[in-house]
Amino acid sequence: MFVALLLLWSLLFLLYVFFTTIRKYQTKLPKPPLSSTYGPPSYPIIGCFISFCKNQHNLLDWYTSLLSASPSQTIVVHRIGARRIVVTANPSNVEHILKTNFTNFPKGKPLTEFLGDLLGCGIFNVDGDLWSTQRKLASHEFSTKSLREFVVKTLEEEVEGRLIPLLEEVAESQRVLDMQEILKMFAFDTVCKVSLGTDPFCLDLSRPVPPLVKAFDCAAEISARRATAPLYLMWKMKRALSIGSEKKLREAVNLVHGSVHEIIQNKRKILERDEGERIESHDILSRLLLAGHGEEVVRDMVISFILAGRDTTSAAMTWLFWLLSKHPDITHKIVNEVENVVVQNNGTEKLGFDDLQKMRFLRASLCETMRLYPPVPWDSKHAEVDTVLPDGTWVGKGDRVTYFPYGMGRMKELWGKDRFEFNPDRWFDIEPGCDGDNKVLKFVSPYKFPVFQAGPRVCLGKEMAFIQMKYVMASVLRRFEIRPVCGEDRPVFVPLLTAHMAGGLKVLVRKRS
């Protein structure tokens, strides 16, 4: 009885402190100029809490409908205990945020806190000199021909040695397979080989799922939910008390950091042992260690690379497989394009970098998939100063500013009346959709299609991501038919750090005749 009363009084005290802090916080906020701003209904103290709770299960489409109703494709969202959020689907605003006024829109401490426990001081979660130093380092490594060749070689080993045999076995047994889970396992194997030089054997289904994989999933999901929690301060209170989801997050992060630390120690011993033998090390971890960088910096960088490289490509491919099941004509065009490339290569099954570059219609199909289902549906920055966006929206110092690729892909002003249709031909300038070699991919502004970010923070691994996705899609589609068993309903798009398909993509696999 005493314990229950103590807990009750503790809860009441915390609520008192919580709402007192909110009142003091809101009275100190700068007042925006009087101008018409669009957004969900907002009330004193609670902001748009009521609307937010009603639409939390459908947040992306709710934001999209609000943005579509706004003349400038920008809305302002007020939340309990947090600064205003300015959400935009306006390319002029996106360019202003990501390029023109880049220094005024860093990640900022309020945003880096969400991922700080997992990513530490990794390149995706820092600003200023620390970001600049890591960016230069990563840019050099990602631009080397040797790393590109290592990526293609790794893809060949993983696709031909594991993925294709697995799909052949599934086709023979006629059992249902979760394609999303298989692609995630494939991507984790590949990114660990490239980033760490180690093989977790995720795609070997005879082995249990490695604890590192489960820990990554748990840490990424809980970190993402911090950013969308209706009560902004609640996760901080749970972290301070080490309870609930925050306790699980701490345990998962400890496992991730501990596992990567062990890999780094083993790699360092191997490099020291092989010193002087001129054994070339291709993986990113070896390159960073040989360059003399400290362990914590290296750890945070490779964790960032793994997180980015694993989920983004697998998410895009999962949605493309589902879309192709609804558009057999587009599947036919992709298969024909791949076969033509193989014929031009004298029938050699092995796909090289130059072969992949010729697959323009496949690239257009991937771009169209990511327009509709971007792996990262939104990204946010932190306003360093009071400013005004190009569309006239006032932004106060400390506000969160979010650009919204998911909503941008559904704006009539950007993509026309057929914006909800899957149409890879929209990415071509000349003779769209033909099966010859005269297809020309049009230039699309990265501020209209910011799925790989844009400006100084544009994704360094963009072309490597396309290499991986094209290699997998080409290899699978020319050999197999992938038939979803989920029925006619559109799967649910779930936004976390990277989006995924709720319930996975259950499929039957058939050898292509």
Interhelix angle for 295-326 vs 244-273, to 10°?
110
For 232, phi then psi, to 5°, come to: -55, -40
Structure tokens, 117 = 């426990």
Give me the helix-helix angle, 462-477 and 295-326, nearest 10°: 40
Angle subtended by helix axes 462-477 and 360-372, to nearest 10: 110
* Summary count for the chain: helices (H), strands (E): 20, 13
Pairing label, strands 493-494, 506-511: unpaired
459 is in an annotated binding site: yes
At 348, phi and psi to the nearest 5?
A: -70, 125
Per-residue burial over 101-139, b = 16 or more CB atoms within 10 Å of its CB, e = otherwise:
beebbbbbebbbbbbbbbbbbbbbbbbeeebeebeebbe
Burial 456-490 (b: 16+ CB within 10 A, else e): ebebbbebbbbbbbbbbbbbbbbbbbbebeeeeee
Query: In the beta sheet, which residues pair with residue 511?
Result: 480
- Phi/psi for 328 (5° steps) reads -60, -25
**In whole angstroms, what is the distance from residue 82 CA to residue 59 CA?**
18
Is the separation of the CB atoms in 459 and 137 below 8 Å?
no
Exposed (0-12), middle (13-18) or buried (19+): which is 235, by Cβ within 10 Å? buried
- CB burial string 257-273: b at 16+ within 10 A, e below: bebbeebbeebbeebee
Q: For residue 399, how far is the Cα from the chain centroid?
A: 23
Cβ proximity of 381 and 389 under 8 Å: no
Which residue ranges make up the annotated binding site?
459
Which residue ranges make up the annotated binding site for heme?
459
